[in-house]
Amino acid sequence: MLWKAGKERPKEDPAVRAEQGLVVSGIEVGYHRGPAILRDLSLTVGAGEIFAVVGRNGAGKTTLLRALSGLLPCRRGSVRLQGRDFTGLSAERVARSGIAHVPAGRRVIPGMTALDNLKLGGYQHSRTALASALDDVLAMLPALATWGARRAGTLSGGEQQLLAIGRALMSRPVALLLDEPLTGLSPAYQQDVLEEMSKIAKGGTAILLVEQNVRKSLRTADRGMVLDEGRGVLTGAAAELLAADRLRDGYLGVGDARQA
Ligand SMILES: Nc1ncnc2c1ncn2[C@@H]1O[C@H](COP(=O)(O)OP(=O)(O)OP(=O)(O)O)[C@@H](O)[C@H]1O
């Protein structure tokens, strides 16, 4: 986690930010021996940047996050984090080495307290490092401290989403992968999650967000990509994507129209 007070801030130069973040080059990914789901996909998420991947159901968004977190192998191409080659690393090595994945559906452990759920995210730390990571996460997401003693299963959907993000931050990731963090949340909680995401990115973490909620995610992101049948068909500044006719005509769904 790069956001602790006093730590070096990311440089503003996009090339330097890219070097300090996540670089995905020409990956091809599929399940077992099946056809390729992602084809020749490239993207860069710089340190301190939010990059949103949007697309319809089945476009390959979840598959992308599974590949980046080591759950699925890349058949071609490479994944680099801060210049280090992550291609082919196991999910455990990936998680230990700086990429944290918050899967869809939050998956907090309902019978454990929020605090114990958080501590699980720092399982690889020494006792001192765990305490320090916990301090940092609670400083970043102070709401977590107020429900720390509650069982996670009694928290609202939005609170559980923040808890899942906090748990991922406990590993002090360089890059945070978020799968549909807005799904199932009320508009107010969606706003909370988006605001917390911006705070986390400002501290230097590279955030890759995949969302069906095109308009809200692009309004918060710096840059983004439209994924269609496993290919990146449109990439650019989030504001430019939002204004693109092709996005408006083809990808903004009914839910987006309601938020317009
Ligand atoms: N375990 C699996 N085995 C084989 N094919 C799969 C598996 N999981 C997903 N797929 C296929 O991969 C393609 C992309 O699915 P993926 O879940 O990545 O899309 P998505 O963009 O995340 O969609 P959604 O928003 O509906 O989750 C789909 O054709 C899907 O059927």
63 in ligand 1 pocket by Cβ < 6 Å? Answer: yes
Task: Return the closest-CA partner of residue 109 out of 168, 170, 163.
Answer: 163
Q: Are 169 and 140 in contact (CB under 8 A)?
A: yes
Q: Are 175 and 45 in contact (CB under 8 A)?
A: yes
Ligand 1 pocket test, candidate residues 61, 102, 183, most atoms within 8 A of CB: 61
CA of 62 to the centre of ligand 1 (A): 7
**Coil, strand, or helix at residue 147?**
coil
162 in ligand 1 pocket by Cβ < 6 Å? Answer: no
Looking at residue 254, what is its pLDDT? Answer: 40
For residue 253, give the amino acid letter. Answer: G
Looking at residue 239, what is its pLDDT? Answer: 93
Looking at residue 192, what is its pLDDT? Answer: 86
Residue ranges of the domains in the chain?
14-107+173-252
Residue nearest atom 5 in ligand 1 by C-alpha distance: 31
230 in ligand 1 pocket by Cβ < 6 Å? Answer: no
Task: Return the closest-CA partner of residue 200 out of 219, 180, 178.
Answer: 178
Cα distance between residue 75 and residue 29, in whole Å: 6
Cα distance between residue 192 and residue 159, in whole Å: 9
Looking at residue 257, what is its pLDDT? Answer: 44
Mean pLDDT by 10 residues, the chain (260 residues): 47 71 96 95 96 92 96 96 93 92 88 94 90 91 88 92 93 95 87 90 95 90 94 93 77 50
Task: Return the closest-CA partner of residue 175 out of 3, 45, 17, 54.
Answer: 45
Residue nearest atom 9 in ligand 1 by C-alpha distance: 63
35 in ligand 1 pocket by Cβ < 6 Å? Answer: no
Q: Are 177 and 95 in contact (CB under 8 A)?
A: no
Ligand 1 pocket test, candidate residues 27, 31, 71, 209, most atoms within 8 A of CB: 31
Task: Return the closest-CA partner of residue 218 out of 236, 200, 204, 192.
Answer: 236
Fold (CATH) for 14-107+173-252: Rossmann fold (3.40.50)
CA of 235 to the centre of ligand 1 (A): 21
Q: Exposed/middle/buried for 52, CB within 10 Å: 0-12, 13-18, 19+?
A: buried
pTM to 2 decimals? 0.89
Residue 87 CB neighbours (<10 A): 16
